[in-house]
Amino acid sequence: MTAACFYFDLASPLAYLAAERVLGVLDGPAEWQPVLARELPGAESFTAFRCEQESAVFRSELARRAQELGLQPLRWPDPFPFDSSLAMRVATYAKSIGRVVPFAQAAYRQAFAGGRSLADPDFVLIAAAACEMHPAAVLRGAELRSVAEQLDACTAAAAAGGVTDVPAVLVAGRVFHGERALEEARAHMHAERVRR
């Protein structure tokens, strides 16, 4: 079976929308890979809006998309954007113990359904507790040099493999960017399966 790799950063509301859908849309298994979006060559910074009105339109469009998808109303963390470094190290640690999917989902919901900044360690720990990760172990894991190095290495590998921003899905060497590309990624998975 052709497997996919789903690349995400917990600071991205676009990746949040994809994370809520990816398990149901993709026709097969998907590895969830934490990466630091700010290190990717084409990543959206969410700070480059020309004016307040442009920012408001962006937020309104995402809120409408969340509603279309049947998600909880979008609530924006304060501040937004926020620094996801700690949360992404915790996601990398969670991946090493087989908890990356439940942690990422809980963290995204803290940020974009609960309106809480994941730059605050308390909200990261709440997300970790929601998937039965012990706070002391989480904080120790997030501070390990090996975890930070793993996150950096995975980010660099993603960029080298053609991932320019999150969300992204890699299927059989082809990268699909954006939440709305999930169906295209699913079709590619199916075509690869048929071809084999």
Helix H, strand E, coil C: the string for the chain is CCCEEEEECCCCHHHHHHHCCHHHHCCCCEEEEECCHHHCCCCCCCCCCCCHHHHHHHHHHHHHHHHHCCCCCCCCCCCCCCCCHHHHHHHHHHHHCCCHHHHHHHHHHHHHCCCCCCCCHHHHHHHHHHCCCCHHHHHHHHHCHHHHHHHHHHHHHHHHCCCCCCCEEEECCEEEECHHHHHHHHHHHHHHHHHC
Q: What is the pLDDT of residue 2?
A: 55
Prediction pTM value: 0.95
Q: Is the pLDDT of residue 60 over 80?
A: yes
- Residue 54: give the domain boundaries: 4-195
Q: What is the CATH number of the domain that holds 33?
A: 3.40.30.10
Task: Please give the average per-residue pLDDT across 13-24, as a whole number.
Answer: 96
Q: What is the pLDDT of residue 46?
A: 84
Total number of residues shown for the chain: 196
Contact 93, 141 (CB under 8 A): yes
Task: Please give the average per-residue pLDDT across 26-54, as a whole number.
Answer: 88
Q: What is the pLDDT of residue 52?
A: 86
Of 24-28, 54-58, 84-88, 150-154, least confident by mean pLDDT is: 24-28
Other Cβ atoms within 10 Å of 135 Cβ, number: 14
The tally of domains found in the chain comes to 1
Q: Is the pLDDT of residue 1 over 70?
A: no
